[in-house]
Amino acid sequence: MSEHHVVDITIIGAGPVGLAAAYYAGHRDASVRIVESLGQLGGQVAAVYPEKHVYDVAGHPKIQGQALVDLCVEQGLQFGAETFLDQEVKDLQRVGQNGEQLLVLTTHEGESFPTRALIVTAGHGAFEPRKLEIEDIDAWEGCGLHYFVRRKEVFRDKTCVIVGGGDSALDWTLGLQDTARLPITLVHRRERFRALETSVKEARELEQKGDVRICAPAEVRDVRGDGLIQAVTLEDMTTGDRFEVDCEALITLLGFHSHLGSIADWGLDLHGKRQILVDPSTMETSLPSVYSAGDVAGYEGKITLISVGFGEAAIAANQAIAKIRGEKVQPKYSTD
Ligand SMILES: Cc1cc2nc3c(=O)[nH]c(=O)nc-3n(C[C@H](O)[C@H](O)[C@H](O)COP(=O)(O)OP(=O)(O)OC[C@H]3O[C@@H](n4cnc5c(N)ncnc54)[C@H](O)[C@@H]3O)c2cc1C
């Protein structure tokens, strides 16, 4: 076990909200460390939708996901926050050291991180994609089956079948129009899509032009190929008819299974099954000096959006600092 030095604030998770918390804490001259389980910064935005445009972050009328998190990294790390990647936080203990009460985090990788306060910005926790219920579906991973669209170029001139009825499925049916071979086939097991109405309307318009083929309600029943995927069999859920569709890239965007992992066993009060309960006026959890913000923090009326998480990060960081220093909470503006 290698033990690191004590810092004022440790942040679990380097998504946009963790990076915002690092900015606010660094701006108040606190020593900051970020521990992240993935091998990259940027959370869900970098991992799941780096090339999708984001329209609802204040000050950015339209910005690509990766460009947004690159700016978050530049802003968040400017005061010298240390980052530790590929480190999944497992345990939390409270210890007394040199007259101070410290929190000590340990990771699956065997590192130990003592800290005066903790901000948990772990998003959905460790997440993995939901998969099609087809025997041996995993065997097609790396052979044409995709759970994410990380780089559009991977799909250049490919015959794509996208499966799903939510925003990701619709976003990429529209977003790959300039890259994939047309039409893109969109398969959803229900007739009605869950995605934003304007995206569904746009996809229906593209269907009229022949650039999208919508199969709904339909389900993928089989995947065929010789080493690489060549076709999928679909079942029309209304008639029961089965038919084959050419397919070089099968993109299943069915959401994620996610769990808080060992964080759920720390004795924190939870909000539902997936979120840590916080007092929204302080973002403090049921454990003293442990704060939370972003998607993982829950309270009545919570909306899981980046801009909401940014505000929560400011509250959590300022509250944590006030507590460490025994001061009243007051904002310090970021002017020179
Ligand atoms: C397809 C899609 C499109 C979206 N579009 C928008 C949009 O247009 N606008 C918008 O506002 N929001 C959008 N969102 C939601 C937005 O991405 C989230 O609200 C945002 O990413 C939350 O940020 P976060 O920092 O709280 O968590 P995350 O971005 O999830 O980051 C959490 C990080 O914590 C790490 N972590 C988890 N557990 C541990 C652990 N035990 N140890 C170490 N590290 C850990 C994870 O690896 C992850 O990197 C979208 C989400 C999806 C899936």
The verdict on the CB of residue 88 being under 6 Å from ligand 1 is: yes
Whether 93 and 104 have beta carbons less than 8 Å apart is answered as yes
Ligand 1 center to 11 CA (angstroms): 14
Residue 205 domain boundaries: 131-254
Establish if 333 belongs to a structural domain: no
Pairing of strands 159-163, 63-64: unpaired
Instruction: Name the closest-CA residue to atom 26, ligand 1.
Output: 294
Q: Is the pLDDT of residue 257 over 80?
A: no
The verdict on the CB of residue 128 being under 6 Å from ligand 1 is: no
Instruction: Give 258's pLDDT tier (boundaries 50, 70, 90).
Output: low
The verdict on the CB of residue 56 being under 6 Å from ligand 1 is: yes
Averaged pLDDT score across all residues of the chain: 94
Establish if 83 belongs to a structural domain: yes
Ligand 1 center to 123 CA (angstroms): 5
- Residue 117 is predicted with a pLDDT of 98
**Rounded alpha-carbon distances, angstroms, from residue 35 to 10, 32, 77, 207, 268:** 7, 10, 13, 45, 19
Residue 291 sits in a domain of what CATH number?
Answer: 3.50.50.60
% of the chain beyond a pLDDT of 70? 98
Domain termination site, one of 254, 274, 289: 254
The verdict on the CB of residue 174 being under 6 Å from ligand 1 is: no
Please tell me whether residues 135 and 220 are part of one structural domain.
Answer: yes
Establish if 330 belongs to a structural domain: no
The verdict on the CB of residue 175 being under 6 Å from ligand 1 is: no
Helix axis angle, 197-209 relative to 167-175, nearest 10°?
40
What's the pTM?
0.74
Surface-to-core class of residue 147, CB atoms within 10 Å of its CB (0-12 exposed, 13-18 middle, 19+ buried): middle
Domain termination site, one of 201, 225, 254: 254
Domain termination site, one of 236, 254, 272: 254
176-233 pLDDT tens trace? 999 999 999 999 999 999 988 999 999 999 999 999 999 999 999 999 999 999 999 9
Establish if 274 belongs to a structural domain: yes
